[in-house]
Structure 1
Amino acid sequence: MAVARVGLVVHEGRPEALAAARVVRDWCDTHDVRCTDIDVWRAGEPRHRAKEELDAAGDPDLIVTLGGDGTFLRGARLAAENDALVLGVDLGRVGFLTEVPVQDVGLALDAVHEDRVTAERRMLLAMRASCPLEVPEDMEALMRYGRGPLLPPPCVRPECKTGGGWGIALDATALNDVVLEKLTRDHQVSVGVYVAGRLLASYSADALMVATPTGSTAYSFAAGGPVISPRAEALVFTPVAPHMAFNRSVVAAPDEPIALRLLERSGLAAVSLDGQLRGVLRPGEWIGVYAAPRPLRAVRLGPTDFYGRLRERMRLTDAPAAAADGEAAPLWPLSTPAPPDLEHLSLPPVQADAYPLL
């Protein structure tokens, strides 16, 4: 695709990200492409809704993120608003989302501009709620932790000011997860969890989350949830420190919504999307989480070796007894074409880190 407008999301606290941003701006100047910094945290100013950011940037068709997975999530929030492509430049340590080493950012922009890339579809989560979400005035000071201002609560979509028993549709998406969690250490949340319209169980827990396959390697993984290929489509429900015997994750089909209703005996609960506090629920209120009708489109420059990255980034080690067998050979040879009965399968590239930039 010929890039006309670039939105740039930068991790301002990392010198290498600032240096890479200069490379992106120089590339845009050379190719007569408008480049605008977006989601900038200015002192004393609130953060803006995705539509406001994109309108100010001239509706960019490519979002470039310079940082780790957290920065990529910031860019994904914006790209999801107008179906822009998002290109993640890797400056993180344990990231699964970013694609391009920082030294190759100029080559990656060339590849996008010359349409030598593919758009990988990543499932997003959307939300309905029993009422508009709000953040109490005193919450911002408690939740900052040096991370910058909070995002505003998601607004109600214009076409759905009232939703009756179906709730109201919120203008919010999540790439990783939607989390309902307790606000104080001494009081767990009590939540009725519904899957595909039926009550699964009522939980008392520190938190309950609904994750995408992309988010299965984030908070859900830390809470004991399963690792799911990002190419899959599913909703993963995982309780965090539940006070009950059934503490397993539940993997639902993409067309099976998951609803979380705060029970009357519960305290207040925070609603977070991709790690960002977006509102507070009171007893009796609920949120419904479901697959968004439109996925995120992430730039990929070649085949993605997700399982190789999983082994590397999570530093997986082999059992001592298995390691005694020596270095493991590939199950199938990757240096020759696949036989007919395997041609339909997705197998890793011959070189896991190779991508066709040149």
Structure 2
Amino acid sequence: MEKIGLIPNPTKEQAIETVKGIIDWLEKRGIEYLVEEESAGLVGEQNKGSSYQEMAVEVDLVIVFGGDGTFLNTARHFAAVEMPILGVNLGGLGFLTDIELSKLGSALEDLIAGKFEIEERMMLEAKVIREGEKINQVVAVNDVVITKGSFSRIIELKTYIEGEYVTTYPADGLIVASPTGSTAYSLSAGGPIVNPKLKSLVVTPICPHTLSSRSIVTAGDEVVEVEVKADHEDIMLTVDGQTGLKLASGDKIKIKHSDLVTKLVKLEDYNFYKILKNRIQFSDF
């Protein structure tokens, strides 16, 4: 491990203070580091500031300090180079940032000692087709969501899988999630929990105006196509709940697995079901 990238959430004081401590820890062990440029001044290391592009070619892995939102933003920045990412949880649920602050010291020791594995997570690719032409293309770690505006009427989402018409959802929206994203917005909308090592797409309607709508889990190599129908213009496509673009009635969105993957650093004691139990707090009957 020659050089590590440090990416704290600059809006969280705890993240900034934690990174200051990590810098001392790394310097005592002679390990080089870079700090994301927006946060470098906040931790007093302006000369170590680095853009995502510079980090992509200079560091061996990055450590993210924050919540899953910080992790998702980082993962999309490094998607093209498949940078290994370790997440330290300073947010809420933290399915992606699974290292707790109380265990950070031992986690760093294991990291430097090479006691970790790289777990590849499937990403999504979505293309927006308007009048037969591709107008946009995005990649996502968790999910791609088609949704109406806050004050608009429901929209109709004509859904195909592998070219086969499946159903039309009259709903507030539709979530197409990766297995990693199955514990995010899709779960809140009633979707299933899928082991993140699997390759699949999870299609979940948001507030469907019907008694029969259910989530659908597809094979990982299948394509989901959604045609949007609405009598208003307040329709959005959002990526991981962080970036978005406006859609129009008649647009078609084609969603499939991406050729890119997100690489997560997982320490030796990592277990998805242990994280799931701790985060979801299943009741014992």
Compare the two structures and name the one with the higher strand fraction. Answer: 2
Q: Where does 1:26-41 land on structure 2 (aligned, <5 Å)?
A: 26-30=24-28, 31-37=30-36
Contact 2:115–2:268 under 8 Å retained in 1: no
Q: 1:245 to 1:39 in 2, by over 3 A?
A: farther
Which structure 2 residues correspond to residues 101-116 of structure 1 after superposition, within 5 A?
101-116=100-115
Note the 1:246-265 alignment, pairs <5 A: 246-263=212-229, 265=231
1:191 aligns with: 157
Instruction: Write the distance in 2 (CA, Å) between the matches of 1:39 and 1:265.
Output: 42
- Match of 1:240? 206
How do residues 202-281 of structure 1 correspond to structure 2 at under 5 angstroms? 202-263=168-229, 265=231, 267-281=233-247
CA distance in 2, matches of 1:25, 1:168: 43
Tell me, yes or no, if structure 1 residue 16 matches structure 2 residue 32. no
- Deviation at residue 186 of structure 1 after TM alignment: 3.5
CA distance in 1, matches of 2:252, 2:206: 18
Give me the whole-angstrom Cα distance separating, in 1, the residues matched to 2:201 and 2:213.
Answer: 17
Please tell me whether the aligned partners of residues 36 and 51 of structure 2 are also in contact (alpha carbons under 8 angstroms). Answer: no
What is the deviation of 1:282? 0.7
Q: Identity percentage over the alignment? A: 31
Task: Report if the CA contact (8 A) 2:223-2:256 is conserved.
Answer: yes
User: RMSD of the TM alignment (CA)?
Assistant: 2.6
Aligned pairs (5 A) from 1:1-358: 2-6=1-5, 8-30=6-28, 31-37=30-36, 53-57=51-55, 59=57, 60-130=59-129, 167=134, 170=137, 172-263=138-229, 265=231, 267-319=233-285
Distance across 1 between alignment mates of 2:10 and 2:38: 11
Structure 1: gaps of 5 or more residues: 43-51, 132-163, 320-358
Matched residues in 1 for 2:38 and 2:219: separation? Answer: 33
CA shift, 1:122, in A, is: 1.1
> How many residue pairs align between the two structures?
274
Q: CA deviation at 1:103?
A: 4.2
Does structure 1 conserve the Cα–Cα contact (< 8 Å) formed by 2:143 and 2:239?
Answer: yes
Task: Report the CA distance between 1:311 and its aligned residue.
Answer: 2.4
Partner Cα separation in structure 1 for residue 171 and residue 37 of structure 2 = 37
Q: Which runs of 5+ in 2 are unaligned?
A: 42-49
Matched-pair contact (CA < 8 Å) for 1:27–1:106:
no
Q: CA deviation at 1:306?
A: 2.0
Give 1:270 shift: 0.9
1:212-265 residue CA offsets vs partner (Å, 9 max, x unmatched): 111111111110001111121110000011112331000000001112221254
TM-score with structure 1 setting the length = 0.69
Deviation of the 1:202 alpha carbon = 1.8
Q: Normalization by structure 2: what TM-score?
A: 0.86
Contact 1:182–1:207, Cα closer than 8 Å, also in 2 = yes
Question: Letter of the aligned partner of 1:84 in structure 2?
Answer: M
